[in-house]
Structure 1
């Protein structure tokens, strides 16, 4: 069986952190390239702090419009830890997760914006 039990795992061939643009770009071995805004990566963090321990505990992270990425840290050969400038650093972004959120970025972002609106929250930080 190739990949894992849930389908093929695509491996990154290049990862580019564009700090000034607050963006992460990842090229995968199937030729696809995804460009992730830091804000998007922060609000879909796979951390327990954001995702909870079950779907009912998922948090809507607001006020991160201007968040940046301070650094990337390798986690074995299967993932990276992203350290954001709001000091969030507990999410482990596996290659599989990065690929999935890359392919679903448009719908995930739309869902996030709907959640913010429904909860009366904003992308802008509180003053």
Structure 2
């Protein structure tokens, strides 16, 4: 997977735009990135261990750091910083955004959780 040609955080720190050569930029909300973090804390070490993360509606991106030539580490304002977002995972998040977001909202509802707490 080739690296994006641009990663841009919005002024309000709530949106990451990822541009790959020859494709339209992908807009990824900070909340969406936080709740789909590839970290073991969120994903677990197996599908059964995956955690539904509530209360991240207002999360923002504090900083991003490159990880080699293949990924970026995103630090959120809730101090979560263990997710390493590979270029292919960022693209996948963009391509599957509608389905993943709907599944997340359904999980919150099923578990009696909300985006606010």
Same fold (TM over 0.5): yes
- Counterparts of 1:1-127 in structure 2, within 5 Å, are 9-125=1-117
Instruction: Give the Cα–Cα distance (whole angstroms) in 2 for the partners of residues 21 and 90 of structure 1.
Output: 18
Distance 1:61-1:19 versus aligned 2 partners, 3 A rule: farther
Shift, 1:10, TM fit: 4.2
Once the two structures are superposed, residues 48-69 of structure 1 have per-residue CA deviations (whole angstroms, 9 ceiling, x without a partner) of 0000000000000000000000
- The TM-score, its normalising length taken from structure 2, stands at 0.96
3-state SS, counterpart of residue 108 of structure 1: helix
Shift, 1:32, TM fit: 2.7
Instruction: Give the Cα–Cα distance (whole angstroms) in 1 for the partners of residues 13 and 39 of structure 2.
Output: 24
Distance 1:19-1:54 versus aligned 2 partners, 3 A rule: farther
Instruction: Give the Cα–Cα distance (whole angstroms) in 1 for the partners of residues 56 and 23 of structure 2.
Output: 30
Which runs of no fewer than 5 residues in structure 2 stay unpaired? none
Aligned residues: 117
Shift, 1:88, TM fit: 0.1
Asked whether the 8 Å contact 2:35–2:42 carries over to 1, the reply is: yes
- The TM-score, its normalising length taken from structure 1, stands at 0.89
Instruction: Give the Cα–Cα distance (whole angstroms) in 1 for the partners of residues 11 and 53 of structure 2.
Output: 21
Detail structure 1 runs of 4+ shifted over 2 Å in the superposition.
none
Once the two structures are superposed, residues 69-115 of structure 1 have per-residue CA deviations (whole angstroms, 9 ceiling, x without a partner) of 00000100100000000000000000000001110001000000000
